[in-house]
């Protein structure tokens, strides 16, 4: 009986220690990941590529759709929550006509996550990333702007 109580006590202590250590670990900072190796976000229809050199590209996952080419910068580090990332990019279209002067400012909020293998849906054609940054993220703002100095 004493052995069972000791074993239960040891297991309980180990579980409490493991739980506390998991809760106390800070979440990974997406800003550090973006600057270190870059990240790719996907939403089911498009990919959003934040390269470590500060360039940005968005393409459709299918055969046609909207594209963006430009630059990104972290306007507000995550500090345990979400990184505010501002993109200035030229908007275009794959397999369609696009104006030559369509530029946008896009504000992303990107939360902590991890890089995950991308499983390609069988019904979608076109380019697919090998990996993506699996996290919660949102586009908070998209506004038209004149040609920014940072965009080609």
Q: Looking at residue 64, what is its pLDDT?
A: 84
Structural contact between residues 118 and 131, judged by C-beta atoms closer than 8 angstroms: yes
Burial class (CB in 10 A: 0-12, 13-18, 19+), 86: middle
The full set of domain ranges for the chain reads 27-145
What's the pLDDT band for 2 if we cut at 50, 70, 90? low
- From CA 10, how far away is CA 18, in angstroms rounded? 12
What's the pLDDT band for 134 if we cut at 50, 70, 90? confident
Pick the more confident residue, 10 or 121. 10
Of 44-53, 82-91, 127-136, give the range with the top mean pLDDT. Answer: 82-91
Pick the more confident residue, 84 or 13. 84
Instruction: Output Rg (C-alpha) for the chain, integer angstroms.
Output: 21
Closest to 75 (Cα-Cα) out of 45, 106, 53: 106
Quote the pTM value: 0.72
Structure confidence by residue, pLDDT tens digits, 22-56: 555 555 667 777 777 788 888 888 889 999 899 99
Q: Which helix (H) or strand (E) holds 46?
A: strand 46-50
Pick the more confident residue, 140 or 132. 140
């Amino acid at each position: 009986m004493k052995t069972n109580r000791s074993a239960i006590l040891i297991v309980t202590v180990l579980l409490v220690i493991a739980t506390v250590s998991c809760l106390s670990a800070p979440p990974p900072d997406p800003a550090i990941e973006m600057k270190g190796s870059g990240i790719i976000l996907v939403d089911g229809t498009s990919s959003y590529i934040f390269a470590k050199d500060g360039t940005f590209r968005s393409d459709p996952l299918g055969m046609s759709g909207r594209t963006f080419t430009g630059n990104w910068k972290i306007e507000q580090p995550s500090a345990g929550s979400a990184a505010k990332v501002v993109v200035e990019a030229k908007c275009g279209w794959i397999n369609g006509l696009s104006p030559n002067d369509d530029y946008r400012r896009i504000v992303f909020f990107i939360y902590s996550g991890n890089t995950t293998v991308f499983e390609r849906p069988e019904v979608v054609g076109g380019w697919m990333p090998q990996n993506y940054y699996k996290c919660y993220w949102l586009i908070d703002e998209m506004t038209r702007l004149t040609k920014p100095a940072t965009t080609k």
